[in-house]
Amino acid sequence: MKKTKLLLTVIIALFLMILSACGTSKTSGTANTTGAEKKTLRIVTDASYAPFEYQDKGDVVGFDVDFVKAVGKAAGYNVNVEHVGWDPVFVEIKGKTADAAISAITITDDRKQTYDFSIPYFLSKNEILIPQNSDIKSAQDLKGKVVAVQNGTTGQDAVEAIIGKNNSNLKKFDNNNLAILELKGGGAAAVVADNSVVETYVKNNPNDHFKFIEDDAAFKKEFYGIMFPKGSKLKAEFDKAIKKVISDGTYEKLYQKWFKTEPDLKTIEAQQQ
């Protein structure tokens, strides 16, 4: 009897320890109190979105990673980018267990209610990926067709604006690769996703005989931002650093490296005002 009681106490104690560990901020450990040394920021991402962020043999690399490191340096911080997955990105920022997140996150009014965003650093828009013989000519033609998207993306929002929220013709996948596989398998008539994803796919897979169409009327320009917990002091420092990284040419160099084209700096800078 005594033994069971002891065991029970130990189990409960362990359980409580685990629970309390969940509640404490993980960043507190990395914070440097000496002041002289640079503080290391924990930045989270979902590294499954090449070329923005992906894992190269276990290392998180990509445009976003290089960019946030440059911005962090300009703001006077060491930056540690960690892959945690898409859902956990939002959990970590909301719970303040990470300092910031960069993961090709589009700035939207809905998201602004719960999080803070830096000034925009990237211009993007959605495009429609279809087979070459498809009769879809514009976003309006998606009505009545089965469309595959990545769950929780602005591509999903854009399609829902046309065919209605939670329409059964809309198939939401965990990532764009699966959505495109569904298009290849004949389970969907089109995929709506970011231009960088769609264009890279068409370029790299000529044997699939896919093409993409733009529809500037239906798909608005989107801007990516670095996401912070609400009320984070980092936002002001990072905004200044982003402007610096863009004006000194670092941004353009990184953009060239990862996308092999020139950025539309005018549109981005106009949005930063």
- Of 152, 248, 253, 257, the one binding other proteins by CB under 8 A: 152
Query: Could you say whether residue 171 binds other proteins (CB under 8 A)?
Result: yes
Query: Could you say whether residue 166 binds other proteins (CB under 8 A)?
Result: yes
Least distance from C-beta 20 to other proteins, angstroms? 15
Please tell me the number of Cα atoms within 13 Å of 150 on its side-chain side: 21
Q: How far apart are CA 172 and CA 136, in angstroms?
A: 20
Task: Give me 170's structure tokens.
Answer: 């809309």
CB 99 within 8 A of CB 80: no
Query: Could you say whether residue 144 binds other proteins (CB under 8 A)?
Result: no
Pick the closer one to other proteins by CB: 60 or 149: 149
Task: Give me 38's structure tokens.
Answer: 């640079």
| Ordered alpha helix ranges (H), the chain | 2-23, 63-75, 86-94, 109-112, 154-163, 176-185, 195-204, 234-247, 250-259, 265-272
- Of 173, 201, 210, 212, the one binding other proteins by CB under 8 A: 173
- Of 123, 178, 202, 213, the one binding other proteins by CB under 8 A: 178
**Contacts to other proteins from residues 82-111, by CB under 8 A:** 87-88, 90-91, 110-111
**Binding positions for other proteins, rule: CB under 8 A:** 87-88, 90-91, 110-111, 114, 148, 151-153, 156, 166, 168, 171-174, 178, 181-182, 184-187
